[in-house]
Chain A
């Protein structure tokens, strides 16, 4: 029983990080209609920026805010300079750009900061967990931050006009521009937001995974899986999907197939779900006309 609780809490904890990453993937998808495979590497890069700011002696939350702000600006810049030209190009060109970005961010991070992993502090280390070692202080902190971010994003898309406009511009730019929506600026904003949320997930993950250029590589698959499981068009669903993936991964690893195959089992389950519900558990079925 104790073991089970351990696994559940560990799974929930990593699940929250996957949820954040899944959320940033959903934001990009909602903003641009594409999945940005470079999201993880961009998040890692932002985490390095945070590390640099901390190294300069800035207090934790200032460094946090600074890195998130840099990520926001960087995300917008990437969209304007690199993504906008391929917005109307065939999907393969866009995918190629994202893969190119993935590879470049990864190599540049390695080139600037080396490939050795380094420590990263957690602001929640002094928090008391629940039940001693079941849920650590950091896990609680991750959960709190994730909830805040998720709520903010969901409210943004459902209730604000800019959020509505972003959802419109991603899917139907022509109609949106005829409604007076500045499509180009809206998409850039979406990218900035997504990069900022990705940065948050990186900064939350670093204390556990240790910071190195490949930190997010493995995570991306889990975050991606979580987003698809929940439904890539649904922020809450994607976040829930991320948590589910974390739980499945840990439980499968501990009880079913061992650490080598747990990723496979998690993926197999998700694939199975997708075959019956191709838009994820909570995704919206959209009617597509020719």
Chain B
């Protein structure tokens, strides 16, 4: 089975400043893959390169075998890539309902309302706040909204950029439990960027470690869990 995402030889730059160098990554279909690294290592840049926003990239990026490098973002989304950016990207001035509706913007089928009900089932707190402005939700609730909005697309690939950022551990656990349930139920592939390495590795099948824009290790999650460098620098053991 083709991998959900195959990246190789990826160079990415903001203007004249090179951020990623010959990066590579494989996201196997139906599995969770983590992208790890310290602040500034280039994780968000890699995600932006996949969705073709803000950054100039060259190399190979293939979604289920089809090249999406440099494709206009709206077409990448139509091919089933849902990207939750860092900072959640919720539309603060619009209601929860409107946010969710826009998650399905790229869809033309008739099951959108049914899916909205399903999301509210996963995240009951959103149901309570259904007609509230998204900007008034707490950080945790906004993250739930961002994730359910992304799932409204019925994506093949779900990209999450630092979902635990700024959230209390209890809230993070709650979100990740639901996320785990969702991903085991469906055949969705997940690419997860996290600074919280132990949390990410616990959830993942495969992982990649970035340092200063270059890939240091990439392979099955267990490999990284066992690796000394990773343990010392990122797992604190």
Tell me if B78 counts as interface (CB < 8 A to partner A).
yes
With a cutoff of 8 Å between Cβ atoms, the chain B residues found around residue A133 in the complex are: none
Tell me if A167 counts as interface (CB < 8 A to partner B).
yes
User: What does the 1/0 interface line of A92-115 toward B look like (CB < 8 Å)?
Assistant: 000000000000000000000000
**Are B89 and A180 touching (Cβ within 8 A)?**
no
With a cutoff of 8 Å between Cβ atoms, the chain A residues found around residue B133 in the complex are: 284, 286-287
**Are B77 and A178 touching (Cβ within 8 A)?**
yes
**Are A174 and B101 touching (Cβ within 8 A)?**
no
Number of interface residues of B (CB under 8 A): 28
Tell me if A245 counts as interface (CB < 8 A to partner B).
no
With A178-B51, A181-B74, A182-B74 already in contact, the answer to whether A284 and B105 are too (CB < 8 A) is: no
Tell me if B131 counts as interface (CB < 8 A to partner A).
no
Tell me if B92 counts as interface (CB < 8 A to partner A).
yes
Tell me if B125 counts as interface (CB < 8 A to partner A).
no
With a cutoff of 8 Å between Cβ atoms, the chain B residues found around residue A172 in the complex are: 89, 91-92
Tell me if B98 counts as interface (CB < 8 A to partner A).
yes
With a cutoff of 8 Å between Cβ atoms, the chain A residues found around residue B53 in the complex are: 174, 177-178
Tell me if B188 counts as interface (CB < 8 A to partner A).
no
Tell me if B83 counts as interface (CB < 8 A to partner A).
yes
With a cutoff of 8 Å between Cβ atoms, the chain B residues found around residue A233 in the complex are: 93
Number of A-B residue pairs having CB atoms within 8 Å of each other in the complex? 74
Tell me if B106 counts as interface (CB < 8 A to partner A).
yes
With A178-B53, A178-B83 already in contact, the answer to whether A168 and B74 are too (CB < 8 A) is: no
Tell me if B68 counts as interface (CB < 8 A to partner A).
no
A206 to B71, CA, bound (A): 47
User: What does the 1/0 interface line of A149-162 toward B look like (CB < 8 Å)?
Assistant: 00000000000010
A181 to B102, CA, bound (A): 9
Interface-central residue, A165, A287, A289, by most chain B CB under 10 Å: A287
**Are A286 and B93 touching (Cβ within 8 A)?**
yes
With a cutoff of 8 Å between Cβ atoms, the chain B residues found around residue A176 in the complex are: 91, 102
Q: Which of B89-133 contact A (CB under 8 A)?
A: 89-94, 98, 101-103, 105-106, 133
**Are A175 and B135 touching (Cβ within 8 A)?**
no
Tell me if A86 counts as interface (CB < 8 A to partner B).
no
With A177-B73, A177-B74, A180-B153 already in contact, the answer to whether A168 and B94 are too (CB < 8 A) is: yes
Q: Which of A188-241 contact B (CB under 8 A)?
A: 233
Interface-central residue, B84, B94, B103, by most chain A CB under 10 Å: B94
With a cutoff of 8 Å between Cβ atoms, the chain B residues found around residue A171 in the complex are: 91-93
Tell me if A179 counts as interface (CB < 8 A to partner B).
yes
A175 to B90, CA, bound (A): 7
User: What does the 1/0 interface line of A269-290 toward B look like (CB < 8 Å)?
Assistant: 0000000000000001011110
> Which residues of B does A touch, CB under 8 Å?
51, 53-54, 72-74, 77-78, 83-85, 89-94, 98, 101-103, 105-106, 133, 135-136, 149, 153
> Which residues of A does B touch, CB under 8 Å?
161, 164-165, 167-168, 171-172, 174-182, 233, 284, 286-289
List 28 A-B residue pairs with CB atoms under 8 Å apart, sorted by A's residue number.
Answer: A161-B101, A161-B105, A164-B94, A164-B98, A164-B102, A165-B102, A165-B105, A168-B94, A174-B54, A175-B85, A175-B91, A177-B74, A178-B53, A178-B77, A178-B89, A179-B77, A179-B102, A180-B78, A181-B102, A181-B105, A233-B93, A284-B93, A286-B92, A286-B93, A286-B133, A287-B92, A287-B135, A289-B135
